[in-house]
Amino acid sequence: MAEGGVQMATVLIRHGRIVTAVDEYQADILIEDGHIRTIGKDLVVGDGVEVHDASGLLVLPGGIDVHTHLDWEFGVARTADTFGTGTRAAAFGGTTTVIDFSNQTRGESPLAGLEDWHRRAASACVDVGAHMILLDVNQQSLADMQTLIRREGVTSFKLFMAYPGVLMLDDGSLFKAMRIAAGHGAMICIHAENGQVIQVLVEEAVAAGHGAPKYHSETRPSLLEGEATHRAIKLAELAKTPLYVVHLSAREALAAVAEARAHDLPVYAETCPHYLFLTNAEYERPGFESAKYVMTPPLRDLSHQQALWRGLRTNALQVISTDHCPFCFNEQPLGLKFSKQQGQSDFSKIPNGAPGIETRVPLVYEGGVRRHGMSLQRFVAVTATNPAKLFGLFPRKGTIAVGSDGDIVLFDPNEPWTIRASEHHSRVDYSLFEGQTLTGRVKKVFLRGQCIVDGKDWRGREGMGVFLKRGECGTL
């Protein structure tokens, strides 16, 4: 029986090529009661078993996206995907686990923020965990951090060094929260940009009448990402906590992470497909079109992109997540609150964030495996296994092994297709990668043994995702 008392099918996936972070071999997989029961050659099963032929396909662990903002209030804006729509899109893209950001409201307990997040997350179609964004660091919230870790299974915290007045914490607050994480097996996720200096640059640009979206990029130089990353690493070293740098985009930040790792510090970092595939040339698009690319940090020039691919090769970067933070380009049909149009005449009012939850796995396959010589094992590591290990989900999630959840993706490495927002499943009305042709496509997706994506058909349902109480965060 599944959670909720639903009878679950016994499923055989046969004749596929299983890929994990360490292996690649031909075998069959039997899934019973949502878990992988047996892996072996030519398994023989009786009647009543649902059989899926994976001949010619790669059999991958379900993808894990550890950076999403679903149904999230961000300043005066709100992200366009509910948990239902966002996680359905995730599933079509080969992602079966999402760790999303819950947040504390200033003046309230983070525990209240988690309760609110649970209400919103109830419609999830894939399994979900929560990080907690801390906004007020005081005695009570530091105590609540411990409750979140021990009782609620929320074992990672995002701290912002950017967005003064909205999300930013001062260095003292960062340090206090880091010390609690250090003592309790939790991970600190850091948004590393020097928010105060950026604020000066933004105010000057606005005063000079520079309202176009490209000034978003010009007021957030890579140096300020590098400076904040270095500062965060030093604070984490002093606090003796592991540190995970989110949405790393800049060469300078990468250098700081690589240096820390060379000194054996537990410092990790993710980047996102948009930094690996796109450059700041997108900000030269005519009119307001370039607002689609207003995310933080902004897109950088080609030299940064090349450094990120090198960082993936050298293991300075361990994870590729999406930072799926979708705002529609058009005001209708969802309304201005969900739209980039809020910043028509002032770039500083454009909601920061971009979609990507559905295209991550195939983009990493195309960019990594096909164009940059990434091994299949590394492809699985950065999209599933490493996030599972770092965020307390391994070996339940992130691998194909006896006893693990039956979260499986059947992937055709040879099928070409073209990214079209009109065909994706998110509520957002554009894709950063519109028109890009990829080779490698998700064919079927299983969540705890249930086939939820079958080609173009949706067989899952809202509310079938379960909340993942996570354990201590791991090391790599």
Which spans of this chain sit near ligand URP (rule: CB under 6 A)?
A: 69, 191, 247, 295-296, 323, 325, 352-353
**Minimal distance in Å, beta carbon 47 to Zn ion?**
48
Determine the size of the site formed for Zn ion (CB under 5 A). 2
266 contact, one of ligand URP, Zn ion, none, CB 5-8 Å limit per kind: none
**Minimal distance in Å, beta carbon 464 to ligand URP?**
27
Q: What is the rounded distance in angstroms from the CA atom of residue 297 to the CA atom of residue 329?
A: 19
**Minimal distance in Å, beta carbon 294 to ligand URP?**
7
Q: Mention every residue, 6+ apart, whose C-beta is less than 8 A from residue 344.
A: 288
User: Cβ closer to ligand URP: 62 or 387?
Assistant: 387
User: Cβ closer to ligand URP: 17 or 340?
Assistant: 340
* Adjacent-strand bridge partners of 98: 65, 128
User: Cβ closer to Zn ion: 252 or 323?
Assistant: 323
Q: What is the rounded distance in angstroms from the CA atom of residue 413 to the CA atom of residue 58?
A: 7
Contacts 24+ apart (CB under 8 A), 179-182: 179/239, 179/240, 179/241, 180/142, 180/145, 180/146, 181/145, 181/157, 181/239, 181/241, 181/242, 182/239, 182/240, 182/241
321 contact, one of Zn ion, ligand URP, none, CB 5-8 Å limit per kind: none
User: Cβ closer to Zn ion: 99 or 328?
Assistant: 99
User: Cβ closer to Zn ion: 49 or 197?
Assistant: 197
* Adjacent-strand bridge partners of 51: 12
340 contact, one of ligand URP, Zn ion, none, CB 5-8 Å limit per kind: none
The answer to whether the beta carbons of residues 130 and 70 sit under 8 Å apart is: no
295 contact, one of ligand URP, Zn ion, none, CB 5-8 Å limit per kind: ligand URP
State whether residue 184 is helix, strand or coil: helix
Which DSSP string corresponds to 82-136?
-HHHHHHHHHHTTEEEEEEEEEPPTTS-HHHHHHHHHHHHTT-SSEEEEEEE---
**Minimal distance in Å, beta carbon 296 to ligand URP?**
4
**Minimal distance in Å, beta carbon 475 to ligand URP?**
24
User: Cβ closer to Zn ion: 323 or 358?
Assistant: 323
Give how far Cα 50 sits from Cα of 13, 31, 35, 308, Å. Answer: 9, 10, 14, 42
460 contact, one of ligand URP, Zn ion, none, CB 5-8 Å limit per kind: none
Contact code string over 311-350 relative to Zn ion, x by CB under 5 A: ------------x---------------------------
Q: What is the rounded distance in angstroms from the CA atom of residue 463 to the CA atom of residue 447?
A: 13
User: Cβ closer to Zn ion: 225 or 323?
Assistant: 323
**Minimal distance in Å, beta carbon 231 to ligand URP?**
17
Scored b (16 or more CB within 10 A) or e, 19-54 reads bbbeeeeebbbbbbebbbbebeeebeeeeeebebeb
78 contact, one of ligand URP, Zn ion, none, CB 5-8 Å limit per kind: none
Strand duo 35-40 + 24-32: pairing: antiparallel
352 contact, one of Zn ion, ligand URP, none, CB 5-8 Å limit per kind: ligand URP
| Residue numbers 170-199 binding Zn ion by CB under 5 A | 191
Q: Mention every residue, 6+ apart, whose C-beta is less than 8 A from residue 62.
A: 94, 95, 96, 97, 126, 384, 397, 405, 407, 408, 409, 445, 446, 447
User: Cβ closer to ligand URP: 77 or 445?
Assistant: 77
**Minimal distance in Å, beta carbon 224 to ligand URP?**
14
102 contact, one of Zn ion, ligand URP, none, CB 5-8 Å limit per kind: none
Q: How is residue 2 annotated by DSSP?
A: -
The amino acid present at 192, given as its one-letter code, is A
User: Cβ closer to ligand URP: 17 or 191?
Assistant: 191
397 contact, one of ligand URP, Zn ion, none, CB 5-8 Å limit per kind: none
**Minimal distance in Å, beta carbon 163 to ligand URP?**
7
> Is the bond preceding 298 in cis, omega lying within 30 degrees of 0?
no
H-type alpha helices, 315-444: 360-364, 372, 376-380, 386-390
322 contact, one of ligand URP, Zn ion, none, CB 5-8 Å limit per kind: none
**Minimal distance in Å, beta carbon 69 to ligand URP?**
5
92 burial level (CB within 10 Å; 0-12, 13-18, 19+): buried
213 contact, one of Zn ion, ligand URP, none, CB 5-8 Å limit per kind: none
User: Cβ closer to ligand URP: 167 or 256?
Assistant: 167
User: Cβ closer to ligand URP: 232 or 325?
Assistant: 325
**Minimal distance in Å, beta carbon 355 to Zn ion?**
12
State whether residue 438 is helix, strand or coil: strand
Nearest residue relative to Zn ion (C-beta): 191
**Minimal distance in Å, beta carbon 288 to ligand URP?**
17
State whether residue 148 is helix, strand or coil: helix
- Interface positions with Zn ion (CB under 5 A): 191, 323
